[in-house]
Chain A
Amino acid sequence: MSVRKVPTPSGTDSTRAGLGPTMRTLPRRLWRSIFRSNPLPRNELERSQAVANNFFFHIPSAKVHEHTLRPATTFGLGLISLYTFIILCVSGVLLMFYYVPTPEQAYDRMLDLRGAVFFGTFLRNLHRWAAHAMVAVVFLHMMRVFLTGAHKPPREFNWLVGLGLLVLTLAASFTGYLLPWDQLAYWAIVVGTSIAGYAPLVGDEIRFFLLGDDVVGREALLRFYVLHCVVLPLFISALVGLHFWRIRKDGGLARPGRD
């Protein structure tokens, strides 16, 4: 750690002088309170600190193996999954400002997005295509991990976390599918949730628990909305954090000739 010395208020003559020195050193002290190391590093030590001292960068290590950086190692599929999730969170929050989860209003709000909201069509399109992309890329990421043997010990628990993320991704996409409340959405959810009813013994109970009713209606729309906008994104965020942290703890990405 190279925490540079800043003027401290106690005991120095300059602070006794009053407001002037306090204000003069304020920008520098403010900057140092946020960035403990140089955010634009100039040497190896500062480059390491830029990663290790940054909340957003602290999960990846200060140094990475050359094998990790080769495009063909991962094709960046895990990162693209994260990026689509970030895009979905941002565009989703913006859509939430316009959406009302009731059977009377939901579809009208879709028409508003298309006709009355500035960039509304673009916003909805982006959310839709990013959602399809996330499902596809998460699945491709899973294929990459298996076909490169990256699920084998010591990474077997992270594979389980990844399976959890796959299921949550499908659930998030499926719950979001109902929200436009058009024919496509409605009947896809009728078909999808009827599959849950085929589970032995508790099938009907599971289906009722999902829909809050015997049919897809007002209660189902509200439940899917809350699951889609709050519950599932929270679980996904938590598991993504665990997933990334475990990559680091398991020794970085799998590479040949290490163990």
Chain B
Amino acid sequence: MPRPDERPSFEPFPLEPGKTYGLMAVVPARTPACETRTEEQVQAWPAALVRELLLFVVTILVLSLAALLFDAPLEGLANPLHPPNPAKAPWYFLGLQELVSYSAFWGGVGIPAIMLLVAAAAPYMEWRPGGEGVWFHKSRSAANWIFLTVVGCLGFLTVVGTFFRGENWALVMPW
């Protein structure tokens, strides 16, 4: 119980000793906001499961359509005596093959190993909370820019290796 001289000068009603007083407010909402996290949850059945099933159907349809419209490549029987020029790795390794054309060790071993190690270390370096679940969160712009730069370089090298490399790995125009 505070001393009389510490009391506020304005009292809307006489305060009773032995009781605690809180300030309440009326807000426009459908339910008491005591546990909001629960209110933002929905039943996985059917909300999530129906969406997941639909996505499966769409994936099957798109791939089936591709399989009906486009034939997988099949060249002549493998002949170890007649290498094509240029011989190219699968498309997802063409960025690395492009690097290999500059330096065999760095392109084939060094840079891929470093990229994997840095990727593995990323969440342990960037460990402070903030920006989770938000696309391009401002607080993470540095990390995102580094990541996008690496991805951009790899994408650029892959495009060059796929479309702009001809005989003897010389730079050619694809048209």
Contact = CB atoms under 8 A, between A and B. Distances in A.
Given A57-B49, A64-B44, A151-B123, A83 B74 contact: no
B68 interface: yes
B127 A191 contact: no
Contacts of B55: 76, 79-80, 83
Contacts of A50: 45
Interface stretch (B7-15, B23-31, B93-101): B93-101
A180 interface: yes
Interface residues of A, number: 88
Main SS class of interface, B: helix
A26 interface: no
A84 B51 contact: no
Given A122-B64, A132-B91, A182-B78, 5 more contacts: A69-B51, A173-B90, A174-B90, A181-B78, A190-B87
Contacts, number: 224
A188 B44 contact: no
A147 B144 contact: yes
A174 B80 contact: no
Contact of A44 (B43, B87, B123, B133): B43
A148 interface: yes
B46 to A, nearest CB: 8
Interface in A158-177: 159-160, 163, 167, 170, 173-174, 177
A8 interface: no
Of A150, A195, A216, most B-chain CB atoms within 10 Å? A195
Interface of B: 40-49, 51-52, 55-56, 59-60, 63-64, 66-68, 70-80, 82-84, 87-93, 96-97, 100, 104-105, 107-109, 116, 119-120, 122-124, 126-127, 129-137, 140, 143-144, 147-148, 151
A187 B81 CA distance: 11
A153 B127 contact: yes
Nearest to B91: A132
Contacts of A205: none
Contact of A159 (B104, B123, B132): B123
A125 B67 contact: yes
Contacts of B104: 195, 198
B75 to A, nearest CB: 4
Given A124-B72, A150-B132, A151-B122, A192 B90 contact: yes
